[in-house]
Chains A and B, each alone.
Chain A
């Protein structure tokens, strides 16, 4: 059982945070962030070419996290690899100590920094989960037997509580659960009503939910988030607070802290997933406010 799985099963309110590997081989800053956050959060998500931009691999980032004595969640997209590469990398990651996997279809290459790349998408997020589940049963996706003890992953997936119509997202979430997902890290949520409605809608699903938190840094970043995340609406009251705050960055952290406290207090989720997108060093300030 992974540490993440253990904490969630014990009913602890889990805090995960996302870290993006560098564009290059200098892991100094990456390691600094991991050391800074290690005692504060529970596990680290390592992105896999987030936003379709070419970076150091998720697996290498996960190994750096393991070497710092922390636990990673390896994000695995279907954008750049076919099913042979995906299964092979899952097996490799397992032997290197990576157990938590987050299956993602992946942003389209033309949105990234190598827009000429061939999009692969041999497997979508459901397909990646099917492949990982199959490996866990000792067989590859085509039914060929694996040798020896099969890997034991803790599989996760993503869901967007802001998606409209929500029914589409819920049906897809059920497919992901049926394919092996046991925990979900959501897109960023700002509206308590959205969180409550989603929480109610998935109450029968018997999986662990971590609500996504992207701390806002300014009114401009609120606009950016609304443009980038499908369906997300930052409530007017939050926009107003960011507008009048003398220190919008600090106010953004305060807003996130208040939101996390409400999620915890009302029992709307099993934890939160913080995506600071470059501002990881401000996460301890946010956590101090809880």
Chain B
């Protein structure tokens, strides 16, 4: 599926920023960058912990495009959850509640930037212009979720927690070694991970590495408050963004349910990276509204009032409220978006159901680039075995 028309990365003529509502305030936390309140009021600009000022200047079309992204991403995710419940996917890791963090950061990427996801970055994948069916093979069990990272500038999903942050770091080192720093062709890398991953050695090694090599990388931590059942308090005693200081680069906490602030903070960090100013750690403060995966039962470890408090900060609702208050979109726009989302999710469903199981002998493919005599022998043996069944098609 192509990215929504009028996406936030469209290079249109920029209108002046919508006037902020007089007196509109952020959540009150000076260390949380916010440009859109949960009530849908715009904040003109916000200042990060190091004094950086963040603002956005989207056109109306771009605002509508961001909203379209949020709705589509949520709808496609919901469809995948439904497919799992109907037995069509083995498992699904839902992004519900994290749409703004993913769309905001995903739209902040330039075409040449490279992203290294975990297994939950369906929204970023969508923003990269990748067909949303691509990760579903992994969850349906018909492939390992493989695609060409260099074609899409989006690495394969990584299941082992935090491992991809080192891959991202190495890739960023390669950018420096290739001299692709600065200028219009300057490249940057973004590495996604969760709050639980910050406890991993690999993530800390990635911080060390990127710091000492001043690599063009943005570490984008979606702090969704839980690592399966373990709350943030089990991972850290200090706010995660503050850890960056110990590694020698800036850290900033952004309202991860605010697509505008997430975009602004990520774009700024990516620009700094591509211009040779090294890494940034972004902590997108958000909440996983659903389960860790479809095998999880969050009612065992979370209280309902906490979930409800976060529901009031919903990233889609606040963007819709903003569009309505500012009269950027009308009812027919919202109805059209909902209709488009339905169509695309139905289309996704049809294609998932049509995904064939791989031929058994393909399990021997691509283990090695140059092959292996042992594997060749096993493949032949397996083929003979399969052929031994009466009426076998093999």
- Do A and B make up one complex? no
